[in-house]
Structure 1
Amino acid sequence: MKAATFGEVFAVREFRVLFGSFALLVGGDSIKMLAMSVLVYAQTGSPGLSAAAYMVGWLPFVLGGLFLLSLADRIPPRALMVAGELVRAVTCLLLAYAGLPVWAMLALVLVTGLFSPVFFAARAAMLPEVLPGDAFVLGRSLLNVASASAQIVGLAAGGAFLAWAGPTGALAVTAGLSVVAAVVLRVGLPYRPARGTTEAGTAEVGAAREKRPGTTKAGAIRETVRVNRQLLADRRVRGLLLAGWLPCVCLAGAEAMVVPYLGGQGQAGAVLAAAAGGMAVGEFAVGRFAAPGLRERLSLPLAVLLGVPWLGFALGPGIAWAAVLAAVATAGLSYQLGLQRRFVESVPEEVRGQAFGLQSSGLMTGQAAGAALVGALGEVLAPGPAIAVAGGAGVLVALALAGALRPARTPVNSPA
């Protein structure tokens, strides 16, 4: 497979649209979660409810990922992505100006968030269509870099907006960003038919439905459950999903302990920012300088690297060393680049949207579970040892998944 370049990736207009709208989405979501947390705390004075408000936007990924993902292959992708931005804009405006009680705000975010996995899946599944071959992997790398950078900028901007206009003003800014993203997507992307109903290749798809996951006329919930089961029953797909999920579960657990490790003070922000920076640097370096074959061979050692630095927290490092260890660890997240080509080739094209949705929903769910598990461990142990345990678990998980993390011995461009 010929190695692509970042220049070639950015030369594709549709990718530039996806990239820009994704940066707006991640930055806006960071501002929204921060503003909502502050708004809830201002109304209730409860740290617990404030923390719940910060995390509630991710919880719907569990239910949405289990029951609604088939919509990503049944509705044209541009329409889905535009609808997602408009739903986010309306939600933010209601949170800011409708005067809702706390329970209603949390319920609104949960209900509207049920479709978030579908919107994310539509975007992810469109990427290999506009970026074939190795360009797709570099595109994923650039989106990950954008995610890390937008989180940092979004949190910093969120703090500035909160100080200037309060939580309602920050939520209004998020709504504005969503409207801008919707316009960019609507104007910048051409129409593409729904993946499960495209006329091209209909005969092949119809013949394949007897043998492998596909779209049918069943209801969205039933179809989502059916295809999820079939994807997970496929040994190769299941291995790649677990390889993408489980090391990140341990990473999320370690990161969740950074705030209590530093005594709940503002120093944690510096460590978490260093972690985001390490992720961005790792994604860029591996995407830019590693050839496709090397990228896949690096998956196992980089997945191991994801856990090793956290072991150093058993020694009680100060903030400077904690930031260095966190940055080195998250650089290992680039291990996922070596899985992307194999994942795309392992799933049927007609359910690619649901497959990518399952990948992201499982990742979100696993990270929440990892944070909860290591948080519970931190109640028993001190935060430093709990972080070290999470790192050790990450190393063991990566080694246990070595079969899925290692590439097949056949050449990259060989037929399966």
Structure 2
Amino acid sequence: MRAGRPPGRHRRAEAPQATYREVIAIREFRALWYAQGLSLLGDQLAQVALAVLVYDRTRSPLATAAVYALTYLPSIVGGPLLAGLADRFARRGVMLTCDLIRAALVSGMALPGLPFWALCSLVFLVVLLSAPFSAARAALLPEVLEGDLYVMGSALQNMTNQAVQMLGFAAGGAMIAAIGPYRALALDAATFLGSALILISAVRRRPAANGDGSKPSMWTMTRAGARLVFGSRKLRTLVLFAWLCGFYILPEGIAVPYATTLHTGTLPVPVITGLLMAAMPTGTVVGAFLYSRFVTPPRRLRLMGWMAMLSCAPLVVTAMRPPLAVVLAAWFLSGIGGAYQLAANAAFVQSVPAEQRAQAFGLVQSGLMAVQGIGILAGGFAAERLGPEPVVALAGVMGMISAAVLALIWTESRRRVPATA
């Protein structure tokens, strides 16, 4: 993790940088890629549908933000306790089981007239199951792709995820205006079934990562994963970079009330909401492509702090209550900065042993979802009192300061000779 080579030492020959063509040529990666993209597209439609449905019922920014936060908060529990299932059992099997159960749960959400408490409960359970699914996929990917192939594969998945979010959010507003939120939820259920079909047909079975056959308790695995992640200075720093997204994800949680303030009669509120929610993912697609394609692996790590600051700084402009075009441009720039997560994620996943990879990822994902959910709830609470524009600007200021501190810590840790942990 040093910034440069010390005098008198040979620099290790760097492996050649992989290409997207090489990654796409791998059949199992394509299956993981397609399955994730399909289910994510349905999820974005569902998120817009839920936001519109709840706001129409309550007209409350806080209630809207609370339901949106339910798409993050269950991972506080699911990350530490359920992610370890992907180390105890075959990872493909964990993914298939989660897909089938979530398809059934989302089908229930698509029933008109479902009580509000039941809708929230089903949302909670669906997101709870995303923890073992995501942990299994993240742990399986390094087994399919090695070396810089993994980095490029992660970049391709990241760009695809953001592109799907962009498409789902942007088209989701128009689609929901046309077909209604309940049919959009039914489409989400179908995408989970499609994901399961792709996985079972194209991803080969592998034994559980815990090859000795032992089945330690969930609590034992959670404690071991926590010692691994938080006992390493390098991993701790990377985790804090990942959790920084709690600041710049906040605007998405109050996109509906923000869209209401920007409504001038030309575009309906659902369409403005979709455009706002699509702006950051669009920026991240552009940023991830440039970051992975034209920046060498060592330089990605050196630029990580600057990119993190860029992920929050543009949000400050919303304090001036600019028009829609300026807000979209600012959120787009924020998305470009968010591409730094690519380097942080790749460095983290490749630094943990294979037999604990799912558990470690689940712990980090738990905190990641927690900071996003808490940030969105806090943003919704503040937006009811201050309005959405100053709240987004405040999140940008706080995030930029935090990113600057992390950048200094990261630079200092890279200069230390020897790099501990």
Matching residue of 1:241:
239
Matching residue of 1:96:
110
- Distance in 2, Cα, partners of 1:86 & 1:338: 32
1:227 aligns with 2:241: no
1:146 aligns with 2:160: yes
Matching residue of 1:28:
42
Matching residue of 1:106:
120
- Distance in 2, Cα, partners of 1:158 & 1:321: 22
Instruction: Find the residue that maps to 1:365 and give its secondary structure.
Output: helix
Q: Give CA deviations for 1:40-77 in whole Å, capped at 9, x if unaligned.
A: 677x5564655544442332111111322211211111
1:75 aligns with 2:53: no
- Distance in 2, Cα, partners of 1:6 & 1:101: 46
Q: Give CA deviations for 1:133-177 in whole Å, capped at 9, x if unaligned.
A: 112122111111111111222234544554554433322222222
- Distance in 2, Cα, partners of 1:341 & 1:52: 31
Match among 280, 288, 308 for residue 293 of structure 2 = 288
Matching residue of 1:57:
71
Do the aligned residues in 2 keep the contact of 1:74 with 1:195 (CA within 8 Å)? yes
Q: Give CA deviations for 1:273-301 in whole Å, capped at 9, x if unaligned.
A: 22221111001111111111121211111
1:351 aligns with 2:348: no
Do the aligned residues in 1 keep the contact of 2:170 with 2:278 (CA within 8 Å)? no
Match among 18, 32, 51 for residue 18 of structure 1 = 32
Offset at residue 222 of structure 1 (A): 4.1
Do the aligned residues in 2 keep the contact of 1:312 with 1:325 (CA within 8 Å)? yes
- Distance in 1, Cα, partners of 2:215 & 2:327: 53
Task: Name the amino acid aligned to 1:109.
Answer: V
Task: Name the amino acid aligned to 1:139.
Answer: G
Task: Name the amino acid aligned to 1:59.
Answer: L
Matching residue of 1:212:
none
Task: Name the amino acid aligned to 2:71.
Answer: G
Go from structure 1 to structure 2 and tell me whether the alpha carbon gap of 1:320 and 1:109 turns closer, same or farther (over 3 Å shift).
closer
Give the alignment of 1:332-343 within 5 angstroms.
332-343=337-348
Matching residue of 1:184:
198
Number of equivalent positions: 396
- Distance in 2, Cα, partners of 1:176 & 1:104: 20
Go from structure 1 to structure 2 and tell me whether the alpha carbon gap of 1:374 and 1:97 turns closer, same or farther (over 3 Å shift).
closer
Go from structure 1 to structure 2 and tell me whether the alpha carbon gap of 1:163 and 1:391 turns closer, same or farther (over 3 Å shift).
closer
Offset at residue 303 of structure 1 (A): 0.9
- Distance in 2, Cα, partners of 1:157 & 1:83: 29
Do the aligned residues in 2 keep the contact of 1:251 with 1:307 (CA within 8 Å)? yes
- Distance in 1, Cα, partners of 2:273 & 2:48: 15
- Distance in 1, Cα, partners of 2:325 & 2:53: 32
Task: Name the amino acid aligned to 2:248.
Answer: L
Q: Where do 5+ consecutive residues of structure 1 fail to align? A: 200-215
Task: Name the amino acid aligned to 2:230.
Answer: L
Give the alignment of 1:197-346 within 5 angstroms.
197=211, 217-246=215-244, 248-256=245-253, 259-261=256-258, 263=261, 265=263, 266=269, 267-346=272-351
- Structure 1 window deviating more from structure 2 (128-137 vs 334-343): it is 334-343
Match among 150, 157, 161 for residue 136 of structure 1 = 150
Identity of aligned residues (%): 38
Go from structure 1 to structure 2 and tell me whether the alpha carbon gap of 1:244 and 1:326 turns closer, same or farther (over 3 Å shift).
same
1:171 aligns with 2:185: yes
- Distance in 1, Cα, partners of 2:63 & 2:378: 19
Offset at residue 391 of structure 1 (A): 1.6
Offset at residue 408 of structure 1 (A): 3.5
- Distance in 1, Cα, partners of 2:87 & 2:71: 23
Give the alignment of 1:358-373 within 5 angstroms.
358-373=363-378
Task: Name the amino acid aligned to 1:11.
Answer: A
Offset at residue 16 of structure 1 (A): 0.8
Q: Where do 5+ consecutive residues of structure 2 fail to align? A: 1-14, 264-268
Task: Name the amino acid aligned to 1:319.
Answer: L
Q: Give CA deviations for 1:331-364 in whole Å, capped at 9, x if unaligned.
A: 0111122223431343222100111222222212
Offset at residue 243 of structure 1 (A): 1.5
Do the aligned residues in 2 keep the contact of 1:256 with 1:371 (CA within 8 Å)? yes
Instruction: Find the residue that maps to 1:115 and give its secondary structure.
Output: helix
RMSD, aligned α-carbons: 2.9
Greater RCO, 1 or 2 (C-alpha within 8 Å, sep 6+): 2
Matching residue of 2:134:
120
- Structure 1 window deviating more from structure 2 (13-22 vs 365-374): it is 365-374
- Distance in 1, Cα, partners of 2:113 & 2:167: 28
- Structure 1 window deviating more from structure 2 (76-85 vs 221-230): it is 221-230
